[in-house]
Structure 1
Amino acid sequence: MSLIRQLKARAANGKPVRVGVIGAGKFGSMYLSQAPRTPGIHLVAVADLSPQRARASLARVGWEEPRYQARSLQEAVRSGGTFITDDADAMIASDAVDIVIDATGSPAAGIHHALLCCEHKKHIIMVNVEADVLAGPYLARRAEEAGIIYSMASGDQPALIAELVDWARTIGMEVICAGKGTKYLPIYHQSTPDTVWGHYGFSEEQVAGGDFNAQMFNSFLDGTKSALEMAAVSNGCELVPPTDGLMFPACGVDDMPTLLRAKADGGILQQRGTVEVLSSLERDGRPVFRDLRWGVYAVFEAPSDYVKDCFAQYGLKTDASGRFAATYKPYHLIGLELGISVASIAVRNEATGATTNWSGDVAATAKRALKAGEKLDGEGGFTVYGKLMPAADSLRVGALPIGLAHNMVLKNDIPAGQAVRWSDVDFDASKEAVRVRREMEALFARELGIVTEHKKAA
């Protein structure tokens, strides 16, 4: 039975799925705009550090004010309305909520909320890719032990890529490469919040007249978001990351089957079964023909001559050999698609993409030569960007994850382009996010038989 029919059945039986959202920013607001239009869904609560901001978001997306005036979770359940709160912990602990959506964007907050969901047996949809890459493999294990679902967020590119990969493998194809598109030039790795608008082509008047967060926009431009999303895909789809970071090849959709093959097969990839991000710009700044800037893709290989002939008979765009083909979605609708994850968990008991192992990590990497005594300013800032690397390599060198590279003071000079290590910074080991990350590193180092820099120093 389709998702919508099962949701309608829940609505008819008076048993809607009760959802709590944490974070009323852009992604959360996009979901809020659609939730009232979906039968069988009751958005019981919205938690945000600023309740007034949450109310403003609901008004902006078209909610009528009486709908979100419930004075408690219990009143929201009785009335069918929505409770606005700044206490996400209490919302998670309440029996009024079945599924929690973390759309905070804060790695520390995401880890905290996921652990609470494990404690209180609430399924969690992790919109927060920063938290998922920082500690997702650990959190996924905790969720499995707790008997809850820990899911990627449909509409976000990692979940959509996971869907394509699952489709290809389920019909018997070997996935050669999977990923997404973006706007990229090598100089963007050095972009800062002061230079970001020029790269996007926004005027000062446009920026002044809109709700623009320079550091957030810069995290997309400087390669950090791409690295985070590909680490999530690597960890959720049993695909390996490149050993020296993403290449961001300039590539349109027609060229994917030719370019995105292993070098042994005539392509540019180090190996089969990897992730990569495609640039919508040639290196000289010209637009790529039929680019995939907003979309996702998977390249796969025909397992036999018969299947290769089928590719030709049904018009698939392939490489010259006819063996390699690609499928793609040209767009993604972000939070507007999040209801698929809610419905999948509620009526099928299935995640829409989920972390299964620790294959990829994202290291904080110096944008310029950094000096001892400087304070790191995190994702999208002036000091570091995130670079994708194999998790095993990250463990060996003791790389500092980009998700924690905020408000830490350097003890050593760091050359431009070099990963920052744990030993290069002062950090508070008592903080929950730091503790969880270090526990995860120790756990996987033991399992992989890796001696970390931390252990060597000890």
Structure 2
Amino acid sequence: MNLATLLAEREAEGRPVRVGMIGAGKFGTMFLAQAERQRGLHIVGVCDLNPAAARSNFDLVGWDAARYGADSLDHAAKNGTTHVGDDWQALVAHPAVEIVIECTGNPMAAVTHILTAFRMGKHVINVTVEADAFVGPGFGVKAREAGVIYSMAYGDQPALAADLVDWARTCGFSVVAAGRGHKWLPHYRQSTPDTVWDHWGLTQEQAERGRLNPKMFNAFLDGSKPAIESAAIANVCGLDAPSEGLVFPPGSIDDIPTLARPRSEGGVLERKGMVEVISCLREDGSQIPFDIRKGVWVCFEADTEYLKNCFEEYKVVTDPSGRYMCESRRWHLIGLELAYSVASIGIRGEPTGVATEFRGDVAAISKRALKAGEVLDGEGGYTVSGGLRPAATSVAGGYLPLGLAHNVKLRRDVAEGAAVTWDDVEIDETTDAYRLRKEVESLAATTDAA
């Protein structure tokens, strides 16, 4: 509980935690807004495909131009300022950079950036959870081999959910389920960037003011991002994915103990030890009060009479049986919280979440009937959305992971609602992302065989 104190000590000693960030979009800009006021943290460099846009985002959050105006990484490292450029390889290789933050949102590029950082002996915080969803266990293996730390990003829901699960297990509770909230109705699955703001609850003007990317936000709405983040939670926490995908039961925070229990006891889970997403909307579209739309939760069990009595004595909210309880965090602040990961790695040498198993996977599911020759446009687009599946089912079925379903051409027709398979597409087998994915699938096959 003393990371802020330890960061301040690092500042006083003249040895701040030094980071480099690749990508300066919404998440990265939110981090910049907080890093500007954080002692003990030095952003040596920021790399973006559009440096001018990155500089504009520095201005947007109130940085003095002199602070991000270093003309080289060397000068930035020497003077405590920040260099903005477009050479990510130079940033990753620079000796002053201890931690690389991958913040592009492009899963294909993210895999290359992360593996390169490992080879350079750098710790990595991966904001691009889309990559973690399909090769997260591989990142964990590669980081250990390189002797560095790989971590999910605190502020994003998977790391926050993993924190709650860790809290529950550290306290000695049996975890029954964990997950996040969402705004969900079944027809959102077909949402596209053209319809996202009406469903999301923002005007076009609000979206433009916030420089919000409609394709990225549509990935949340159409179920892709909840599937991606649920896969990450499953693989970090050792929980299972539902066999037919997420159920999205509607409920308030106080309803979670009743919903997140096995079906045999009146809940929605196939069994104990699952991930799930709770919707803030009833089936008729009406809003549920005291919702968990922007937060995370863990459901745990009083598996002795004494624990059940304690729940009763302290008047906590449980399911009707009195056995199941949840702890939650109603809000997450995205990039505004990312410094917690930086401090955890830079000071304690601990990740804020890393996949150790391959239990959940996200398949590309067609939004409509697709024709041979069409090009898939990835998460949040017009052609596919993400569906959470058990990793064993996904690998056995040859499902194409959503993270690799961008800019690939279909070889044959795919029916609406069907999982796209490797055989359905023309895929570039030379990419780092493809090769690491195949290593992860081999690892899963070996684990199943054992």
Are the structure 2 counterparts of residues 210 and 114 from structure 1 closer, same or farther at C-alpha, using a change threshold of 3 Å? closer
Are the structure 2 counterparts of residues 101 and 205 from structure 1 closer, same or farther at C-alpha, using a change threshold of 3 Å? closer
Q: Partner of 1:194 in structure 2?
A: 194
Are the structure 2 counterparts of residues 203 and 170 from structure 1 closer, same or farther at C-alpha, using a change threshold of 3 Å? closer
Work out the CA distance in 1 between the residues paired with 2:66 and 2:247: 51
One-letter amino acid of the counterpart of residue 113, structure 2: H
Are the structure 2 counterparts of residues 13 and 149 from structure 1 closer, same or farther at C-alpha, using a change threshold of 3 Å? same
Q: Partner of 2:169 in structure 1?
A: 169
Verify: 1:311 aligned to 2:324, yes or no. no
Are the structure 2 counterparts of residues 209 and 305 from structure 1 closer, same or farther at C-alpha, using a change threshold of 3 Å? closer
Q: Partner of 2:60 in structure 1?
A: 60
One-letter amino acid of the counterpart of residue 180, structure 1: R
Superposed CA deviations along residues 110-146 of structure 1, whole A, max 9, x for unmatched, are: 1111101210111100111011112111111000111
Shift of 1:435: 2.1
Are the structure 2 counterparts of residues 135 and 279 from structure 1 closer, same or farther at C-alpha, using a change threshold of 3 Å? same
Shift of 1:436: 2.0
Q: Partner of 2:117 in structure 1?
A: 117
Q: Partner of 2:140 in structure 1?
A: 140
CA contact (8 A) 2:157 2:296 kept: yes
One-letter amino acid of the counterpart of residue 284, structure 1: D
RMSD: 1.4
Q: Partner of 1:439 in structure 2?
A: 439
CA contact (8 A) 1:400 1:420 kept: yes
One-letter amino acid of the counterpart of residue 417, structure 2: G
Q: Partner of 1:455 in structure 2?
A: none
Q: Partner of 1:301 in structure 2?
A: 301
CA contact (8 A) 2:188 2:222 kept: yes
CA contact (8 A) 1:107 1:134 kept: no
Work out the CA distance in 1 between the residues paired with 2:411 and 2:111: 27
Q: Partner of 1:408 in structure 2?
A: 408
Shift of 1:322: 1.3
Work out the CA distance in 2 between the residues paired with 1:153 and 1:166: 16
Work out the CA distance in 2 between the residues paired with 1:201 and 1:333: 18
Work out the CA distance in 2 between the residues paired with 1:39 and 1:202: 35
Are the structure 2 counterparts of residues 321 and 198 from structure 1 closer, same or farther at C-alpha, using a change threshold of 3 Å? same
Shift of 1:428: 1.4
Superposed CA deviations along residues 196-237 of structure 1, whole A, max 9, x for unmatched, are: 222224445555666232211211110000000000000000
Work out the CA distance in 2 between the residues paired with 1:24 and 1:36: 14
One-letter amino acid of the counterpart of residue 137, structure 1: P
One-letter amino acid of the counterpart of residue 289, structure 1: P
Q: Partner of 1:15 in structure 2?
A: 15
Report runs of 4+ in structure 1 exceeding 3 Å deviation.
Answer: 201-210
Map 1:10-49; keep pairs closer than 5 Å.
Answer: 10-49=10-49
Shift of 1:310: 1.4
One-letter amino acid of the counterpart of residue 18, structure 2: R
Map 1:226-237; keep pairs closer than 5 Å.
Answer: 226-237=226-237
Q: Match of 1:97, SS? A: coil
Work out the CA distance in 1 between the residues paired with 2:201 and 2:295: 21
Superposed CA deviations along residues 363-412 of structure 1, whole A, max 9, x for unmatched, are: 00011111112111111111110000011111101000001111111112
Q: Partner of 2:343 in structure 1?
A: 343
Query: Percent identity between the aligned chains?
Result: 52
Work out the CA distance in 2 between the residues paired with 1:74 and 1:202: 43
Q: Match of 1:181, SS? A: strand
Superposed CA deviations along residues 8-67 of structure 1, whole A, max 9, x for unmatched, are: 221121111111111111110111111132221111111111111111111111100010
CA contact (8 A) 2:19 2:44 kept: yes
Q: Partner of 1:277 in structure 2?
A: 277
Count residues with an aligned counterpart.
450
CA contact (8 A) 2:26 2:212 kept: no
Superposed CA deviations along residues 273-305 of structure 1, whole A, max 9, x for unmatched, are: 100011110011111132111111001001321
Bigger drift between 110-119 and 193-202 goes to: 193-202
One-letter amino acid of the counterpart of residue 258, structure 2: T
Are the structure 2 counterparts of residues 406 and 343 from structure 1 closer, same or farther at C-alpha, using a change threshold of 3 Å? same
Are the structure 2 counterparts of residues 328 and 134 from structure 1 closer, same or farther at C-alpha, using a change threshold of 3 Å? same
Q: Match of 1:328, SS? A: strand
CA contact (8 A) 2:127 2:153 kept: yes
Shift of 1:446: 3.2
Shift of 1:440: 2.2
If the length of structure 2 is used for normalisation, what is the TM-score? 0.97
Work out the CA distance in 2 between the residues paired with 1:354 and 1:208: 34
Work out the CA distance in 2 between the residues paired with 1:210 and 1:301: 41
Are the structure 2 counterparts of residues 48 and 205 from structure 1 closer, same or farther at C-alpha, using a change threshold of 3 Å? closer
One-letter amino acid of the counterpart of residue 128, structure 2: N
Q: Partner of 2:334 in structure 1?
A: 334
Work out the CA distance in 2 between the residues paired with 1:13 and 1:209: 40
Work out the CA distance in 1 between the residues paired with 2:160 and 2:206: 31
Q: Match of 1:440, SS? A: helix
Gaps of 5+ in 1: 451-458
One-letter amino acid of the counterpart of residue 290, structure 1: F
